[in-house]
Chain A
Amino acid sequence: EPEVTQTPSHQVTQMGQEVILRCVPISNHLYFYWYRQILGQKVEFLVSFYNNEISEKSEIFDDQFSVERPDGSNFTLKIRSTKLEDSAMYFCASKEGVPQSSYEQYFGPGTRLTVT
């Protein structure tokens, strides 16, 4: 069964460093998402992406964050200058169909980011 993959599974970085989290969505999917889960807390929406542009972003997704689909298969989340509070599990998700439809969002296994 097709699945969303994410690399790395765990990333440790120093405060102030740039980090790129990578996701490979399911191949025929058109909609892409990033979510964040700070340890022990709920999963929070960051951003949705369709047709090479951001569809929606949350308040969390400030200028330090950016997303890109550089090569038609990968979907990346970049954090320009990491802060301690960026430590979290980051989940990528993808969906096949259009919004306002019943198509399922498939979640990847997550990347645990630790900022020291």
Chain B
Amino acid sequence: AQKVTQAQTEISVVEKEDVTLDCVYETRDTTYYLFWYKQPPSGELVFLIRRNSFDEQNEISGRYSWNFQKSTSSFNFTITASQVVDSAVYFCALSEAERDDKIIFGKGTRLHILP
């Protein structure tokens, strides 16, 4: 069965520190997509990244980076030099492309960046 686990419910770090949000997924498919979304206090879902299962290259976008490791079924997200504006709930998610395309979300990690 498909499942996304974000073991960290809440994290607090001081501004400018680096922080990594963990994500572990389960799927039976060989073709699937992994996502990260940011949900600020205003409530909307902000798309951050989509990665397909055949592309294990790490990705960097500014202060954000993602580490995809199929061997451990993990898709971790790191924010470098965190800022107060990064405070939000972050969701990791999975879509099994071979079966259907609904997105299955993890429970989210609430990130507090302290000034």
Contact = CB atoms under 8 A, between A and B. Distances in A.
Interface string A42-78: 1111001000000110100000000000000000000
Given A42-B106, A42-B107, A104-B50, A48 B45 contact: no
Q: B interface, by DSSP: helix, strand, loop or mixed?
A: loop
Interface stretch (B58-66, B74-82, B94-102): B94-102
A101 B31 CA distance: 10
Nearest to A100: B97
Contacts of B37: 107
Contacts, number: 57
Contacts of B105: 42-44
A102 B34 CA distance: 11
A110 interface: yes
Contacts of B98: 100
Nearest to B107: A42
A110 B43 CA distance: 8
Given A42-B107, A104-B47, A107-B47, A48 B102 contact: yes
Contacts of B108: 42
A55 B91 contact: no
Interface in B87-115: 91, 93, 97-98, 100-108
Interface string A71-92: 0000000000000000001010
17 contacts: A33-B102, A35-B103, A42-B91, A42-B105, A42-B106, A43-B45, A43-B91, A56-B100, A56-B102, A100-B97, A102-B33, A102-B50, A106-B47, A107-B44, A107-B47, A109-B44, A110-B43
Interface of B: 31, 33, 37, 43-45, 47, 50, 52, 91, 93, 97-98, 100-108
Given A42-B106, A48-B102, A55-B100, 12 more contacts: A35-B103, A43-B91, A48-B101, A91-B45, A95-B101, A100-B31, A100-B98, A100-B101, A102-B33, A102-B97, A106-B47, A107-B37
